[in-house]
């Protein structure tokens, strides 16, 4: 079992300047219309700063052509896109200080990027996550839309699975988007379901909003157990995943384990870390209900900025 | 609403059941050898089971799997027990393969196809052998033939397998290790963009070869090895083509049962020159929910036994048969029903009493309609408010509000035919008195009552801001439309509401109409919301259903509905555009619309049009009927406006044009001189 408590998490000032230790060689951020993304991008000091423009945000070239150092690959497959981007960097990733702002990322891209860094020998990187004050439409906020999109394993997180499917488990990091919860639940209809809710949530009322939305997916979920992990802590999230799987395996061997992080980007980082450090020991995949479009801005304000230092 | 513990309907999906629950919750359909007569597990003819979500495919297929066969046998599996069944079921869920990973990552599709086929070969062989190993573990006779069988299996491979293998467990170990090598390569390919997987066995050599060897080298002669491949919708077109090629190339003693949702079949073609699999000679098709819907009595009996076994918490067995039979018998008393005596007096009187001395809404509306029409000079014989008062007085009936509604409808019918309304009201009043006193079974009044009573009752509730009454066990079963999961979901919500309302469901008093209404509405909301999760076109389907239901609602709640119990339509599909056809077809596949076999004969041309019903579970969302009687013929332009999102902007205009003839003042027929009449009225 991995001890995730040794990972370092700290808070950065929203208004003041950041110390020297918060300077990097490469800073990667995903462009969207959120002020908390652009404010942090402006604040960061780094040798090279990249904007990633994901096709799912549907920005026209005229909307981003004024940005410096952007990558706008037309790929919608997370592996093709991230490999395309990394191919444009003339840097030895394992030897530089890297920071990723997770805030604007679309989850599968975030997942594949972290996996690629680990596979390319990056032992340590920092990740930032900015908390909003509020979701624009509270529990009715729409995060994704559009027809199409499969549920499938995320590239780089496809495990070696067992033909015995008699005790498959699906652990869902349940966020606000009940449609995503329903789709992933239907996809792994036969798996026993466990939901991890963000508690403490980013703001006091967000847990209730989260529960309200998740309940709409009740029928597709079927009977499920609920667990909790802080919405802003990837390391406790990974730790909770570890505890859940150990507890379940004490009862009966898990035949296949599927993880689906649909909540905060901080929790997504926790899922990928758990998969990387403990997933290899069992048939484990991360699956995701892909959507063709994502909202460019869903929040208001910036309340806190977190820095997570990931060392493997 | 939160689910209460102890709800006997909490489990609604076969996928959520353990093997034991699959057995315990098994309820057979009565007659004709039950479900076994449909899936025919010992027949060599492959069967493709199609059905809507929740039609029972998975439950049926799992029931035939080795895991459940084993539980059905009294003790340890013996040769005799499996020989009695005459088949061994190898159940696999396509979802377990995560088949989408055999895709992209910089590789050509032909390479992925070859790797997928190889993977499936190993996967199915592993499942089959693990059952055989489990089965023969108990037999001494088996040990003698094991080594010989293992060597024969290894000989099926194209490349020699060097490992020292003498037991079936070791063969399984070899298959697992070959499969894991593929997993690792496929997974790493996302980053490395390389694949180097030597394929060690030709397509179908293990899938058909192992059953042949088992038949030749072990005491398992005369046994059918039945591959039960479920959830085929999870495979892409190329992968399905491979499965259907296996079906075509099938060799005894193997056969297939393939389960898929209605929308899940992307192709029937095979790798044999892209030829399609031939229904009848190469496979049979079983449309599960359609079959259940087409036999309503049989389905109703099955549904009642299903509910009774859940309520009593027992599995069906000879020893529990009496208990379940008595629960089936008492089911109707467990749900409060509507009281239709004396023209639904018990339903309407409590509502009327709330209005006190005030005029009831349908008379208020009639009065307004008459005043407007008279002022505009559109009525032949009505020119003053006193005359309008007289008409309304004639239409009034003591105690029986529903007969008042019938009277109003008859007056609207006469009005639309431009009759003199004062005379018409007198005639209606006489007809009504005769009907109430003598209850004749023929004549204009009887026919109108017989056709429209339910719609008028619905109008009555709507006009008085009361919820519609959807209740009673027969209605609930009917609303599930051959989909047992829908039945369980409705019951789950009803049970939860009954507990919430302080009732004791299935114990003393019947479940109240209020709890039934709430539960049914909640289940309807789930089904509607779930449409959004139906693949790429979920939102478009949802909007199409909105428009269709709006049309039905406008007709049902119009002054003079043209059809009774309207929840279906007919359309000439050869005249609608391709997008409309596509979405009607999808709506059928997702069970949002139900195809009515036989179609509808067009009244003018005698052409037979397609006839479709809105799924009854959706009806409560728009206060629509659940039982179908009339069907509204749609002209192609209105059908396009409903189902083609590109034409939807025309919907409101076409809807208004369609219903104008159903609402006072029935303007399309008026030809009277209006000015003179208006003058008269003002004096």
The domain total for chain B is 3
Cβ-defined contact of A216 to B529 (cutoff 8 Å): yes
Q: Chain B partners of A189 at a C-beta cutoff of 8 Å?
A: 13, 15, 95, 231
Compare CB distances from A119 to B67, B92, B191 and report the shortest one's residue.
B191
Contacts with A252 from chain B: Cβ below 8 Å: none
What residues of chain B lie within 8 A of the CB of A165, using their CB? 93, 96
Distance from CA of A241 to the nearest CA of B (A): 22
Domain identity same for B569 and B443:
no
* B192 shares a domain with B74: yes
The Cα–Cα gap between B304 and B325 comes to 9
Residue A205 is encoded by which pair of tokens? 């009322």
| Shared domain check, B253 and B384 | no
Tell which of B125, B127, B190, B260 to mutate to test the A interface (max A CBs under 10 Å): B190
Pairing of strands A45-52, A70-71: parallel
Assess whether B157 and B256 both reside in one domain.
yes
Burial of A197 (0-12, 13-18, 19+ CB in 10 A): buried
- Give A-chain residues touching B193 at CB under 8 angstroms: 83
How distant is the alpha carbon of residue A232 from its chain centre? 11
Confidence of residue B2 (pLDDT cuts 50, 70, 90): very low
The residue of chain B with its CA nearest to that of A151 is: B100
* Rounded percentage of chain B residues whose pLDDT exceeds 90: 72
C-alpha closest to that of B237 among B106, B125, B102: B102
| pLDDT exceeds cutoff 90 at B599 | no
A7's tokens: 């990972």
CA distance A145 to A56: 10
Residue of B nearest to A167 (CA): B18
Q: List phi, psi (to 5°) of B301.
A: -65, -45
In this predicted model, which residue has the larger pLDDT, A218 or A92? Answer: A92
Inter-chain touch A220–B10, beta carbons under 8 Å: no
DSSP classification of residue B46? -
CB contact under 8 A, A147 and B127: no
What integer pLDDT is reported at residue B138 of this predicted model?
66
> How close is the nearest chain A Cα to the Cα of B645, in Å?
13
Option in B11, B105, B186 nearest A79 (CB): B105
Does B308 reside within a domain? no
- Tell me which of A163, A215, A218, A259 to substitute to probe the interface with B (most B C-beta atoms closer than 10 Å): A163
Q: Does any CB of chain A come closer than 8 Å to the CB of residue B133?
A: no
SS3 B666: coil
Model confidence at B683: pLDDT above 90: no
**Tokens, residue B378:** 């559109």
pLDDT confidence of residue B314: 57
CA atoms within a 13 Å half-sphere pointing along the CA-CB vector of B597: 6
Q: Is B408 within the bounds of a domain?
A: yes
Q: Which A residues in the span 98-157 are in contact with B, Cβ-Cβ below 8 Å?
A: 112, 115-116, 119, 147-150, 152-153, 155-156
Residue in A closest to B127 by C-alpha: A163
Domain boundary among B463, B492, B519: B463
- Of A187-196, B203-212, B309-318, B599-608, the poorest mean pLDDT is in B309-318
Question: How confident is the model over B549-592, as pLDDT tens digits?
Answer: 999 999 999 999 999 999 999 999 999 999 999 999 999 999 99
**Which residue, B399, B433, B463, sits at the end of a domain?**
B463
Residues B264 and B397 in one domain: no
Q: Which residues of A touch B71 (CB under 8 A)?
A: none
Instruction: Measure the CA dihedral B411/B416/B420/B425, to 10°.
Output: 0
Percent of chain A with pLDDT over 70: 90
Rounded mean pLDDT of B250-264?
A: 94
* Domains along the sequence of chain A with CATH: 4-136+298-311 (3.40.50), 144-294 (3.40.50)
In this predicted structure, the answer to whether residue B536 has a pLDDT above a threshold of 70 is no
If asked whether residues B118 and B217 sit together in one domain, one would say yes
Could you tell me which of B102, B130, B89 has the C-alpha nearest to residue B240?
B102
Residue-wise pLDDT for B476-521, tens only, equals 999 999 999 999 999 999 999 999 999 999 887 999 999 999 999 9
Same domain, residue pair B429 and B573: no
| pLDDT at res. A107 | 96
- Report residue A176: phi and psi, to 5°: -80, -20
- The residue with greater pLDDT, B162 or B220, is B220
- Rounded to two decimals, what is the model's pTM? 0.87
- Whether residue B315 is predicted with pLDDT greater than 60 in this model: the reply is no
pLDDT tens, residue by residue, B239-252: 999 999 999 999 98
- Record the tokens describing residue B604, joined without a space: 């003018």
Residues B118 and B241 placed together within one structural domain of the fold: yes
Per-residue DSSP letters for B127-176?
HHHHHHHHHHTT-HHHHHHHHHHHHHHHTTSSS---S---SHHHHHHHHH
- CB neighbours of B87 closer than 8 A, spacing ≥ 6? B41, B42, B64, B223, B224, B225, B226
The DSSP-derived string for B195-258 is ------S-TTHHHHHHHHHHHHHSS-TT-EEEEEEE-GGGS-HHHHHHHHHHHHH--TTEEEEE
Query: Taking residues A122-149, what's their average pLDDT?
Result: 75
The alpha-carbon gap from A160 to the nearest alpha carbon of chain B, in Å, equals 5
Residues 137-176 of B with CB under 8 A from A: 176
| pLDDT average, residue stretch B5-11 | 83
- Given a cut of 50, whether residue B680 has pLDDT beyond it is no
Give the integer Cα–Cα distance in Å for A72 and B50: 43
Residue A76 predicted with pLDDT over 80: no
Same domain, B389 and B281: no
The pLDDT value given to residue B530: 84
B530 found inside a domain: no
Chain B contact present for A208, CB below 8 A: no
Among residues B508, B510, B612, the alpha carbon closest in space to that of B552 is found at B612
d(CA B424, CA B422): 5
- For range A25-42, the mean pLDDT: 93
B106 interfacial to chain A (CB closer than 8 Å):
yes
Token reading at B71: 């539980």
Domain membership flag for residue B10? no
Residue-wise pLDDT for B343-384, tens only, equals: 888 888 888 887 777 888 999 999 999 999 999 888 889 999
Report residue A204's pLDDT band, with 50, 70 and 90 as the boundaries: low
DSSP structure string for B536-574: GGHHHHHHHHHHHHHHHHHHHTSSS-SSSS--EEEE-TT
The answer to whether residue B490 sits within a structural domain is: no
Determine the residue among A75, A83, A153, A160 to mutate to test chain B binding: the one whose Cβ has the most chain B Cβ atoms within 10 Å: A160
Q: How far apart are CA A195 and CA A28, in angstroms?
A: 30
Indicate the SS3 state at residue B92: strand
Mean of all residue pLDDT scores within chain B: 90
- Is B500 within the bounds of a domain? no
With bands split at pLDDT 50, 70 and 90, how would you rate the model's confidence at A219? confident
- Phi, psi angles (nearest 5°) of residue B265: -85, 115
Work out the burial of residue B164: count CB atoms within 10 Å of its CB; fewer than 13 is exposed, 13-18 middle, 19 or more buried.
Answer: exposed
pLDDT 10s digits, B26-55 = 899 998 889 999 999 999 999 999 999 899
Are the beta carbons of B15 and A187 separated by less than 8 Å? Answer: no
Give the minimum alpha-carbon distance from A183 to chain B in angstroms, rounded to a whole number. Answer: 6
Question: Which of helix, strand or coil describes residue B373?
Answer: helix
Q: Last residue of some domain: B410, B440, B463? A: B463
Weakest mean pLDDT among A167-181, B87-101, B475-489, B617-631: A167-181
Mean of the per-residue pLDDT values for chain A? 88
The minimum CA-CA distance between B180 and chain A, rounded to whole Å, is 6
pLDDT value at residue B607 = 80
Contact residues on chain B for A190, CB-CB shorter than 8 A = 15-16, 93, 95-96
pLDDT band at A142 (very low <50, low <70, confident <90, very high): low
pLDDT at residue B158 in the model: 93
User: Per-residue pLDDT for B672 more than 50?
Assistant: no
Is B320 domain-assigned? no
**Host domain of residue B141:** 31-292
| pLDDT band for position A49 (cuts 50, 70, 90) | very high
Q: B40 to chain A, minimum CA–CA distance in Å?
A: 25
Question: In this model, does residue A138 exceed pLDDT 60?
Answer: no
Whether the Cβ atoms of residue B523 and residue B486 lie closer than 8 Å to each other? yes
Region of residue B466 (left: phi > 0; alpha: psi -120 to 50; beta: else): beta
Do B563 and B680 lie in a common domain?
A: yes
* Helices A78-88 and A107-119, axial angle in degrees (round to 10): 50
| Alpha carbon of B644: minimum distance to chain A alpha carbons (Å) | 15
Higher pLDDT, B407 or A220: B407
Alpha-carbon span B391 to B389, nearest angstrom? 5
Burial B354-386 (b: 16+ CB within 10 A, else e): eeeeeebebbeebbebbeebbebbbbeebbeee
Q: What pLDDT is recorded for position A277? A: 95
Distance from the A153 Cα atom to the nearest Cα atom in chain B, whole angstroms: 7
Which residues have CB under 8 Å from B162's CB, separation 6+?
Answer: none
Residues of A in contact with B95 (CB under 8 A): 187-190
Chain A contacts in chain B segment 25-84 (CB below 8 A): 67
- Closest CA–CA distance from residue A38 to any residue of chain B (Å): 30
Question: Are the Cβ atoms of B191 and A79 closer than 8 angstroms?
Answer: yes
Give the residue from A87, A152, A158, A213 with the most B CB atoms within 10 Å of its CB, the best one to mutate: A158
What confidence score (pLDDT) does residue A29 get?
97
Buried b or exposed e, range B585-607, using 16+ CB within 10 angstroms? bbbbbbbbbbbbeebbeeeeeee
Residue B491, in any domain of the structure: no
* Prior bond of A200 cis (ω within 30°): yes
Rounded to a whole number of angstroms, the distance from the CA of B162 to the nearest CA of chain A is 23
Confidence band for B681, pLDDT divided at 50, 70 and 90: very low
Q: Does B110 touch chain A (CB under 8 A)?
A: no
Task: With H, G, I as helix, E, B as strand and everything else as coil, classify residue B597.
Answer: coil
In this structure, the answer to whether residues B281 and B426 fall within a common structural domain is no
In this structure, what DSSP letter does residue A29 have? E
Q: Which two tokens stand for residue B364?
A: 């208020």
ipTM: 0.82
| CA dist., res. A195 & res. B171, Å (int) | 38
> Do B450 and B566 fall into the same domain?
no
Q: What is the pLDDT of residue B317?
A: 60
Q: Which residues fall within 8 angstroms of residue B9, CB to CB, at 6 or more apart? A: B310, B488, B489, B491, B492, B495
Cβ–Cβ gap B179/A163 under 8 Å: yes
Q: Inter-chain contact B12–A222, Cβ cutoff 8 Å?
A: yes
């Amino acid at each position: 079992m991995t001890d995730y408590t040794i990972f370092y998490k700290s808070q950065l000032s929203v208004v003041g300047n950041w110390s020297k230790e918060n300077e990097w060689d490469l800073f990667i951020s995903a462009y969207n219309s959120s002020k908390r993304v652009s404010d942090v991008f402006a604040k960061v000091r780094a040798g090279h700063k990249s904007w990633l423009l994901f096709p799912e945000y549907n920005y026209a070239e005229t909307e981003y052509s004024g940005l410096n150092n952007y990558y706008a690959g037309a790929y919608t497959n997370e592996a093709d896109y991230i490999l395309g981007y990394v191919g444009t960097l003339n840097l030895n990733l394992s030897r530089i200080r890297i920071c990723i702002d997770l805030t604007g990322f679309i989850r599968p891209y975030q997942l594949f990027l972290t996996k690629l860094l680990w596979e390319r020998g990056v032992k340590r990187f920092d990740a930032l996550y900015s908390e909003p004050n509020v979701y624009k439409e509270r529990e009715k906020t729409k995060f994704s839309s559009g027809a199409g999109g499969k549920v499938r394993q995320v590239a780089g997180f496809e495990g070696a699975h067992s033909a015995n499917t008699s005790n498959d488990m699906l652990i869902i990091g349940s966020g606000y988007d009940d449609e995503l919860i329903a789709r992933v639940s239907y996809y792994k209809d036969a798996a026993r379901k466990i939901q991890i809710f963000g508690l403490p949530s980013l703001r006091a009322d967000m847990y209730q909003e989260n529960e309200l939305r998740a309940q709409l997916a009740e029928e597709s979920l079927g009977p499920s157990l609920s667990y909790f992990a802080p919405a802003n802590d990837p390391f406790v999230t990974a730790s909770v995943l570890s505890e859940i799987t150990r507890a379940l395996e004490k009862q009966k061997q898990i035949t296949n384990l599927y993880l689906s992080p649909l909540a905060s980007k901080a929790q997504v980082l926790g899922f990928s870390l758990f998969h990387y450090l403990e997933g290899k020991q069992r048939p484990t995949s991360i699956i995701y209900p892909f959507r063709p479009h994502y909202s460019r801005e869903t929040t208001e304000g910036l309340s806190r900025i977190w820095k997570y230092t990931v060392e493997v | 609403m939160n689910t209460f513990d102890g709800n006997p309907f909490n489990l609604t999906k076969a996928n959520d059941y353990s093997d034991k629950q699959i057995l315990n919750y098994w309820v057979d359909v009565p007659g004709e050898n039950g479900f076994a007569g449909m899936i025919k597990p010992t027949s060599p003819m492959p069967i493709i089971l199609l059905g809507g979500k929740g039609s029972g495919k998975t439950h049926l297929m799992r029931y035939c799997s080795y895991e459940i066969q084993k539980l059905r046998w009294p003790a340890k599996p013996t040769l005799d027990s499996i020989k009695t069944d005459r088949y061994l079921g190898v159940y696999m869920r396509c979802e377990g393969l995560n088949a989408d990973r055999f895709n992209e990552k910089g590789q050509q599709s032909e390479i992925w196809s070859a790797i997928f086929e190889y993977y499936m070969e190993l996967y199915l062989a592993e499942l089959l052998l693990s059952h055989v190993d489990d089965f023969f573990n108990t037999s001494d006779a088996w040990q003698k033939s094991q080594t010989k069988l293992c060597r024969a299996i290894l000989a099926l491979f194209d490349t020699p397998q060097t490992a020292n293998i003498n037991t079936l467990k070791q063969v399984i170990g070899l298959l697992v290790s070959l499969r894991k090598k593929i997993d690792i390569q496929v997974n790493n390919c996302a980053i490395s963009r390389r694949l180097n997987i030597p394929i060690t066995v030709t397509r179908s050599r293990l899938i058909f070869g192992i059953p042949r060897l088992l038949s030749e080298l072990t005491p398992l002669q005369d046994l059918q090895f039945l591959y039960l491949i479920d959830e085929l919708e999870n495979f892409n077109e190329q992968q399905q083509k491979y499965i259907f090629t296996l079906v075509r190339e099938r060799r005894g003693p193997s056969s297939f049962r393939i389960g898929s949702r209605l929308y899940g079949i992307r192709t029937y073609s095979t790798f044999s020159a892209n030829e399609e699999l031939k229904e009848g000679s190469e496979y049979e098709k079983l449309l599960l929910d359609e079959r259940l819907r087409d036999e309503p009595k049989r389905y109703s009996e099955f549904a009642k036994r299903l509910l009774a076994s859940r309520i009593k918490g027992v599995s069906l067995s000879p020893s529990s048969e009496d208990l379940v039979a008595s629960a089936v018998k008492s089911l109707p008393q467990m749900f409060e029903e509507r009281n239709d005596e004396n023209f639904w007096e018990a339903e309407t009187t409590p509502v009327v009493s709330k209005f006190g001395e005030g005029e009831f809404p349908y008379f208020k509306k009639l009065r307004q309609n008459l005043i407007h029409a008279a002022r505009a000079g559109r009525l032949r014989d009505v020119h003053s408010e006193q005359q309008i008062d007289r008409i309304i007085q004639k239409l009034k009936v003591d105690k029986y509000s529903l007969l008042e509604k019938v009277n109003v409808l008859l007056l609207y019918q006469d009005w639309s035919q431009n009759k003199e309304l004062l005379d018409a009201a007198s005639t209606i009043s006489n007809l009504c008195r005769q009907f109430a006193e003598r209850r004749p079974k023929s004549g204009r009044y009887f026919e109108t009552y017989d056709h429209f009573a339910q719609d008028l009752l619905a109008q009555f509730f709507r006009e008085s801001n009361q919820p519609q009454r959807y209740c009673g066990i027969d209605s609930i079963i009917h609303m599930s439309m051959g989909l047992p999961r829908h039945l369980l979901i409705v019951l789950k919500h009803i049970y939860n509401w009954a507990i919430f309302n302080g009732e004791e469901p299935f114990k003393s008093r019947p479940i109240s109409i209020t709890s039934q209404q709430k539960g049914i509405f909640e289940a309807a909301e789930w089904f509607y919301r779930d449409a959004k999760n139906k693949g790429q076109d979920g939102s478009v389907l949802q909007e199409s259903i909105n428009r269709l239901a709006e049309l039905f609602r406008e007709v049902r709640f119009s002054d003079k509905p043209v059809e009774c119990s309207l929840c279906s339509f007919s359309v000439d599909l050869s005249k609608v555009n391709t997008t409309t056809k596509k979405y009607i077809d999808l709506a059928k596949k997702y069970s949002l619309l139900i195809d009515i076999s036989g179609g509808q004969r067009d009244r003018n041309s005698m052409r037979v049009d397609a006839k479709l019903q809105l799924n009854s579970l959706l009806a409560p969302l728009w206060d629509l009927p659940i039982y179908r009687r009339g069907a509204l013929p749609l002209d192609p332009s209105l059908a396009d406006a409903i189902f083609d999102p590109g034409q939807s902007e025309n919907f409101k205009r076409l809807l208004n044009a369609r219903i104008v003839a159903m609402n006072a003042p029935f303007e399309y027929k008026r030809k009277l001189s209006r000015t003179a009449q208006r003058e008269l009225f003002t004096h």
